[in-house]
Amino acid sequence: MSTTYADKTASATGKYVGRAVDRVDGPAKTTGEARFAAEYPYPGLAYAALVHATIPRGRLTAVDTAAALAVRGVIDVLTHENAPPMKPAPKVSFLDLSTLVSGTPVNYLATDEVHWNGQPVAVVVAETPETARYAASLVRPAYEELPAAVDFAAEEGNAVPQKGNLISEAAADKGDAPAALATAAHSVDLTFSTPPHHHNAIEPHATTAVWDGDRLTVHEAAQNIAWTRRHLAQRFGVPEKGVRVLSPYVGGGFGGKGSVWAGTLLAVLAARATGRPVRLALTREGVYHTVGGRTPSTQRVALGSDADGRLTALIHTSVSRTGRAGGMGEPITAGTRHLYASPNIHLRQNVVQLDLLANTFMRAPGESIGTFAVESAMDELACELGLDPIELRLRNEPDRDPVGGQRLAHRRLREAYALGAERFGWSTRDPRPGVMRDGRWLVGMGVATAYHPSMRMPANVTVRLGADGTVVVRCGLQEMGMGTATVQAQIAADELGVPLESVRFEYGDSDLPSGPGAGGSAQTASAAAGVLDACDKLRRTLLGLARRVPGSPLRGVRPEDLEARDGGLYHAGRGQTYAEILAAAGRGHVEAESRAGMLGFMVRTLRERRQWVRAATGAQFCEVRVDPDTMEVRVSRWLGVFDVGTVINARTAASQLRGGIVMGIGMALSEQTLIDHRDGRIVNASLSEYHVPVHADIPRIDVQWLNEPDSTMPLGLRGIGEVSITGAAAAVANAVRHATGRRVLDLPITLDKLMG
Amino acid sequence: MKPFAYVKPADVEAAIQAAAQPGARFLGGGTNLVDLMREGIEQPDTVVDVTGLPFDTVDDLPGGGLRIGALVRNSALAADRRVRERYPMLSQAVLSGASAQLRNMATVGGNLLQRTRCPYFYDHASACNKREPGRGCDALDGFNRGAAILGVSASCVAAHPSDLCVALAALDAVVELRGQDGTRRVPLTDFHRLPGDTPEVETVLAPGELVTAVELPPAPVAANSRYRKVRDRASYAFALVSVAAALEVRDGVVTDVCLALGGVAPRPWRATEAERLLVGGPADESAYRRAAEAELAGASTRRDNAFKAALATATIVATLRELSTGGDPR
Amino acid sequence: MTQIRMNVNGSVESLDVEPWVSLLDALRERLGLTGPKKGCDQGACGACTVLADGLRINACLALAVQYDGSEITTIEGVAHPLQEAFVRHDGFQCGYCTPGQLCSAIGMLAEYEAGMPSAVTPPGAGAYELSESEVRERMSGNLCRCGAYNGILDAIMDVAGEEGTR
């Protein structure tokens, strides 16, 4: 596969690509026909429920299961004393990325160790879900408690420098930023904090597990079925080819379903132990206790500039946390590395291990909270300088990557801000804080830059064309609502010149060609590369078939001169339909495959990283209204202008971008996971006390995109799943600063932080 | 949830009889009790479903008052034209609580018996004197941003979660109770108890006693009334602070006022001290502020909820200002 | 075990349930109607919204025995212009909250027609328009973590506009 797509970007607005096409799964989702992981009936299905530890660290000394076993309808209670063994999780290796899929290294029910408050320590299997849950409440674990460190604020001084990895460095130094800061004409030096967050996909994680000998079928709410399959095969010591993971529908993930967590393993284990098909649907509280969330952070951002607002010093350091058993340091300063031209840059990421459940990826890990800090600090510097915050950003827009010096693959932030300012009415903003009003409401307007790197992963794809004109595209990826299935069908329809209705895209099944996970905003571009490649091969195969037939109008035509349209291949007004080609060749169908090896992928990724920096970027515009009596903040208007390359489907893309902004508004104003500093217990493990935005919190969100293809990406497209949450919280904070004169450094911006 | 027996009596006598057994609980809309049962916090042996009893109407009382059956659904109460006209704060209070789905289920009687949303009450792993008397209170030194600041004790700082009850407290509502010994009437402001040393005892209800109705006396002042709820999102969240207020002003002087607070106390809090200071005084912002501050003077705050006194003060002032100007609060 | 009869999506269903079985679990696990979703099982998300005798309720907090004799409509029994409007306006992404959003919206429109006010309805009992802020408030009992609120609002306004306002 070539690494540039200049030839494809020219045709980026095809018959379907670029259009607002209805989702292919729309009817299934609006009629109740779409079945999720906990919705597959099996004869003899049993139900499992988890028992969670109530101490942060220690050893189990006993687990009293007598009362639970005495409940009518209980089939078994599994504990570390009687559960069949499970193999330990494989060590993380970048040569086999599937090793990243283990949420924690804990070997549940094969250990008496308790690593966090909420860790599963027993599983009840029963005839009904009600019985399982009730009996689980009767299981009494006894512990020997050990000292635990659970308080992030108290422990952050013990943080150590984070290690970088192949795709993300954890530190950067250019020039002498501290010295430059000390002598800067203008400067700000601020310390920010962000709380833990949870994904809170509305579908709680669920697994339905069915064994047949050594063959295993798992209906799973998963973001990466290929890795999940391999991981389950490894943990249960069975051949990978006998494991089938099915995730045709996933009720939201946002990173929370990107790893294999306790519920999945224990459902499979319980099915193995009882010989029954077992369903384990986590309770909402159970999700909090067994699925990691976003790390809290403390961040320092110090900026120095000359009198004109040109940065002379840029310092961004962070502390995040992992569990002592699992998790990864977050790339909090990763975006800052690429945002602003400054001769002196100092970036550091530190991490502290606590006796809490491992953290995990949540929509734009690192960048979402990192941009809150750096984009708030930029706004504060603009206030300090008396300079318009957009102008400050434009004066510091880099031509090449500020740290690495690479070319910027495609960056149109200037255009994004220009379009946004015009469309949002930025010129009506009185720069003085606290003076704009709407009736009694204080009004504020803020901006911030959005930034998220564009990545790709390997994807295997097959495309099959039948004599009846139908096209089946197969790739084992996951569709959590991003629009993946729809956009890949659009791409294939254009590539083969067939009606969209005749394309069926099969996904969500690990028996399909191995697809990319839904993560890193990489899935659409990754799969698109495979679809393009497979369609190209298919056209060549068809051309080969046609050329063998005497009298074919395609004889002598070169592949690159072909035009796929109207259900056939044409050149200069002459050609044949696919049906004619296949009939003449005596074939019922043709099929082509695109395969991407992991080694080639890694080599290419590393090479490309030396060549250029690719990212989706955007300009976020937020207007808030603040009640001057109670200091309640309401977001009243929003505009995001994004530079995300080619947009394949205007409708699903808009939803993806809006969705990130909605989550960003939640992060800004209301979301926080409360972890008790004494025992590491999550205190608000519910949707009633963890406040995700409701309808009434969300105004009209205007999303725009520049729609200029990035010639280094397939079809010129960039992933859009994460960019729009970045910068969002800062845009809110900056608007609140404008409305009230108050800079809130600590998320969420609740009214108590604006009072007094 | 723990297995239980379910009975649905056809008349009130049978219901009271059934509930006289130890371990029996009345069930209305279920929006709070079913949740607490699933969490294992409530573990009744018998559930007595009273939704078949004929207490589901709103009826006029002589002089302009209303009698609200205990089984009137929240949504029906909020939509009642008489309530909207005579006691607008009551309709607003109901509509600011929960969600439309829950309001379609929840009953007035059940709302009176709603239990706190203190997160430590909900989590078995935590110490809570209300859930397990004598075990201690993790909220005292834990997350207590939502906790009460008035009427609290060393054993419990949990706030009462109801919106409806705040309006009822402001409106001098009287609760009608039916037990084995007959019927009695209790002012709403006496119906809920402060925690003291027994936070598990939340009301004056005797075992097996059933709430049958709530009566609202005529209150002309209530035609000019408001319920203002302040919370962490725009809808579908419990109050940080709420204010139920009715105000009458003549010639710049406050001639009548009803004021109650939610989110700040273990029970709906009638602001009698503020009312006393307001009546006869000037209808201006500084008078409102002085009265509010006097009401909150006894506030006992903890790590995270110190803001509630200032927020309650600001919300009282804003609500009274709105009522005295008749203008939009915004 | 208690025997109950419910008219579910137009067909009379008779089933034996323990009193602690929720209406949601009865529908999902006993009747195989998995359209109503379990998102929190505690009345905090609205994914389980169904219509009971025409009123939208949270099936997770309803004991099935309490709905003996009721008429229950789940998404499987719905044929409403809102469904197509949700597709046209992209009122969902993952689709998990969608059945609840749809049932809730249907119940909401009926409530509006019947004169039910909301927290943002001006005081007094006069007629009022079903504005966007009214719809947002009335639909706030249905969380959408994908953040498809704009699309849901558009779909509802579109259909409500066709049906006329009160």
Contact B269/B262 with Cβ under 8 angstroms?
yes
Residues 16-35 of B with CB under 8 A from C: 27, 30-31, 34-35
**Model confidence at A601: pLDDT above 90:** no
Report CA A6 to chain centroid distance, whole Å: 27
- A-chain residues near C105 (CB < 8 A): none
**Model confidence at A355: pLDDT above 60:** yes
The CATH number given to B224-325 is 3.30.390.50
Residue B326, C-beta contacts closer than 8 angstroms, at least 6 positions apart: B224
d(C-alpha A331, C-alpha A144), whole Å? 36
pLDDT at position A10, please? 37
d(C-alpha C74, C-alpha C47), whole Å? 11
Structure tokens at C157: 């306004």
- A-chain residues near B232 (CB < 8 A): 669-670, 691, 750-751
Contact B221/B89 with Cβ under 8 angstroms?
no
Task: Please provide the DSSP assignment of A534-552 as one string.
Answer: HHHHHHHHHHHHHHTSTT-
Contact A344/A176 with Cβ under 8 angstroms?
yes
Residue C163: band (very low, low, confident or very high) from pLDDT cuts 50, 70, 90:
low
Degrees, nearest 5: CA angle A568-A573-A577 = 15
- B-chain residues near A754 (CB < 8 A): none
Nearest residue on chain B to A684, judged by CA atoms?
B119
- C-chain residues near A38 (CB < 8 A): 38
Shortest alpha-carbon distance between residue A664 and chain B (Å): 14
Structure tokens at A99: 């090793």
Compute how many other C-beta atoms are within 10 angstroms of the C-beta atom of residue C164.
8
Compute how many other C-beta atoms are within 10 angstroms of the C-beta atom of residue B250.
9
Residue of A21, A24, A30, A42 for testing the chain C interface, max C β-carbons within 10 Å: A30
Phi, psi for residue B178 in degrees, rounded to 5: -125, 125
Contact A480/A524 with Cβ under 8 angstroms?
no
Dihedral sign (CA A105, A109, A114, A116): positive
Average pLDDT over residues C107-134: 90
- Residue C107, H or E segment: helix C98-113
- B-chain residues near C119 (CB < 8 A): 92, 95-96, 235
Domains of chain C: 2-77 (3.10.20.30), 81-163 (1.10.150.120)
Q: Do C75 and A31 touch (CB under 8 A)?
A: yes
d(C-alpha A445, C-alpha B96), whole Å? 29
Contact B176/B212 with Cβ under 8 angstroms?
yes
d(C-alpha A460, C-alpha A448), whole Å? 37
Residue A657: band (very low, low, confident or very high) from pLDDT cuts 50, 70, 90:
very high
Average pLDDT over residues C67-83: 98
What's the pLDDT tens digit per position in A395-416?
999 999 999 999 999 899 999 9
d(C-alpha A108, C-alpha A119), whole Å? 9
Q: Do A678 and B141 touch (CB under 8 A)?
A: yes
- Sheet strand arrangement including A113-114: A113-114, A58-64, A140-145
Tell me if domain A6-34+459-596 and domain A388-456+613-756 are identical in fold: yes
HSE on the CB side for C105, CA within 13 Å? 32
- B-chain residues near A750 (CB < 8 A): 232
Least CB-CB distance to C32: which of A41, A203, A481? A41
- Burial of A414 (C-beta count, 10 Å sphere; 0-12/13-18/19+): middle
- A-chain residues near B241 (CB < 8 A): 630
- C-chain residues near B4 (CB < 8 A): 19-20
Task: Please provide the DSSP assignment of A554-588 as one string.
Answer: TTT--GGG-EEETTEEEETTEEEEHHHHHHHHT-S
Dihedral sign (CA B109, B273, B91, A752): negative
Nearest residue on chain B to C104, judged by CA atoms?
B101
Structure tokens at A211: 């064994």
Nearest residue on chain C to B99, judged by CA atoms?
C141
**3-state secondary structure at position B62:** helix
Nearest residue on chain B to A685, judged by CA atoms?
B119
Least CB-CB distance to B330: which of A117, A439, A686? A439
What's the pLDDT tens digit per position in A515-552?
999 999 999 999 999 999 999 999 999 999 999 999 99
d(C-alpha A227, C-alpha A100), whole Å? 8
- Sheet strand arrangement including A243-246: A74-79, A120-126, A46-52, A278-281, A206-212, A215-220, A243-246
- C-chain residues near A652 (CB < 8 A): 90, 93
Sort residue A73 into left (φ over 0), alpha (ψ -120 to 50) or beta: left
Q: Do A249 and C94 touch (CB under 8 A)?
A: yes
d(C-alpha A363, C-alpha A351), whole Å? 19
Residue B286, C-beta contacts closer than 8 angstroms, at least 6 positions apart: none
Q: Do C145 and A202 touch (CB under 8 A)?
A: yes
- B-chain residues near A675 (CB < 8 A): none
Structure tokens at A92: 């993380």
Phi, psi for residue A311 in degrees, rounded to 5: -65, 135
Shortest alpha-carbon distance between residue B293 and chain A (Å): 14
d(C-alpha A350, C-alpha A322), whole Å? 11
If you search the block for the tokens 């209150």, which residue do you land on?
B219
Contact A481/A247 with Cβ under 8 angstroms?
no
**3-state secondary structure at position A752:** helix
- C-chain residues near B51 (CB < 8 A): 66
- Sheet strand arrangement including B225-230: B225-230, B241-250, B253-262, B269-270
Q: Do B30 and C66 touch (CB under 8 A)?
A: yes
Shortest alpha-carbon distance between residue C101 and chain B (Å): 11
Contact B86/B66 with Cβ under 8 angstroms?
yes
If you search the block for the tokens 């804003």, which residue do you land on?
B318
Q: Which amino acid is at B251?
A: D
Active site residues of A: 722
Contact A268/A110 with Cβ under 8 angstroms?
no
Shortest alpha-carbon distance between residue B318 and chain A (Å): 7
What's the pLDDT tens digit per position in A662-680?
999 999 999 999 999 999 9
Cis peptide before A748 (omega within 30 of 0): yes
- Residue A503, H or E segment: strand A503-506
Quick one: fold of A388-456+613-756? Aldehyde Oxidoreductase; domain 4 (3.30.365)
Q: Do B233 and A756 touch (CB under 8 A)?
A: no
Residues 22-61 of C with CB under 8 A from A: 25, 28-29, 32-35, 37-45, 47
| CA A327 to each of CA A65, A294, A330, A353, A358: distance values in angstroms, whole numbers, following the listed order | 31, 10, 9, 9, 4
Degrees, nearest 5: CA angle A419-A425-A428 = 140
pLDDT at position A1, please? 32
Size of the A and C interface in Cβ pairs below 8 Å = 171
Buried b (16+ CB within 10 A) or exposed e, A336-345: bbbbbbbebb
Q: Do C62 and B105 touch (CB under 8 A)?
A: yes
Q: Which amino acid is at A660?
A: G
Dihedral sign (CA A403, A404, A405, A407): negative
Task: Please provide the DSSP assignment of B311-327 as one string.
Answer: HHHHHHHHHHHHHHHTS
CATH 3.40.50.720 for the A6-34+459-596 domain, yes or no: no
User: Chain B: which residues have CB within 8 Å of chain A?
Assistant: 1-3, 38, 40, 117, 119-120, 122-126, 138, 141-143, 145, 230, 232-238, 240-241, 307, 310-311, 314-315, 317-318, 328-330
Chains that touch B (3 or more CB pairs under 8 A): A, C
The DSSP secondary-structure symbol of A265 reads H
pLDDT at position A353, please? 98
Nearest residue on chain C to B81, judged by CA atoms?
C125
**Model confidence at A5: pLDDT above 60:** no
Q: Do C56 and B104 touch (CB under 8 A)?
A: yes
Least CB-CB distance to C141: which of B37, B96, B101? B101
Number of H helices, E strands in chain C: 5, 5
Residues 84-143 of C with CB under 8 A from A: 84, 86-88, 90, 92-99, 102, 133, 135-137, 139-143
What's the pLDDT tens digit per position in A161-200?
999 877 788 899 999 999 999 999 999 999 999 999 999 9
pLDDT at position C125, please? 55
CATH 3.40.50.450 for the B5-52 domain, yes or no: no
Degrees, nearest 5: CA angle B308-B311-B314 = 150
Shortest alpha-carbon distance between residue A359 and chain B (Å): 21
User: Any bridge partners for residue C73, and if so which?
Assistant: C51
d(C-alpha A422, C-alpha B40), whole Å? 56
- A-chain residues near B327 (CB < 8 A): none
d(C-alpha B292, C-alpha A267), whole Å? 56
Average pLDDT over residues C67-77: 98
Residue B106, C-beta contacts closer than 8 angstroms, at least 6 positions apart: B28, B29, B31, B32, B73, B74, B98
pLDDT at position A2, please? 32
pLDDT at position B102, please? 98
Q: Do A284 and C39 touch (CB under 8 A)?
A: yes
Nearest residue on chain C to A650, judged by CA atoms?
C90
Mean pLDDT by 10 residues, chain B (330 residues): 97 96 96 98 98 98 97 98 97 98 98 98 97 98 98 98 98 98 97 98 96 98 97 98 98 98 98 98 98 98 97 98 72
**Ranges of each domain in chain B:** 5-52, 224-325
| Mean pLDDT for all residues in chain A | 95
Q: Do C95 and A28 touch (CB under 8 A)?
A: yes
**Ranges of each domain in chain A:** 6-34+459-596, 388-456+613-756
pLDDT at position A13, please? 53
pLDDT at position C137, please? 98
* Interchain contact A686–B (C-beta under 8 A): yes
Shortest alpha-carbon distance between residue A630 and chain B (Å): 6
Residue C166: band (very low, low, confident or very high) from pLDDT cuts 50, 70, 90:
very low
Nearest residue on chain A to B4, judged by CA atoms?
A134
Contact A446/A732 with Cβ under 8 angstroms?
yes
**Model confidence at C165: pLDDT above 60:** no
pLDDT at position A307, please? 98
Nearest residue on chain A to C35, judged by CA atoms?
A32
Shortest alpha-carbon distance between residue C12 and chain A (Å): 20
pLDDT at position C67, please? 98
Chains that touch C (3 or more CB pairs under 8 A): A, B
**Model confidence at C161: pLDDT above 60:** yes
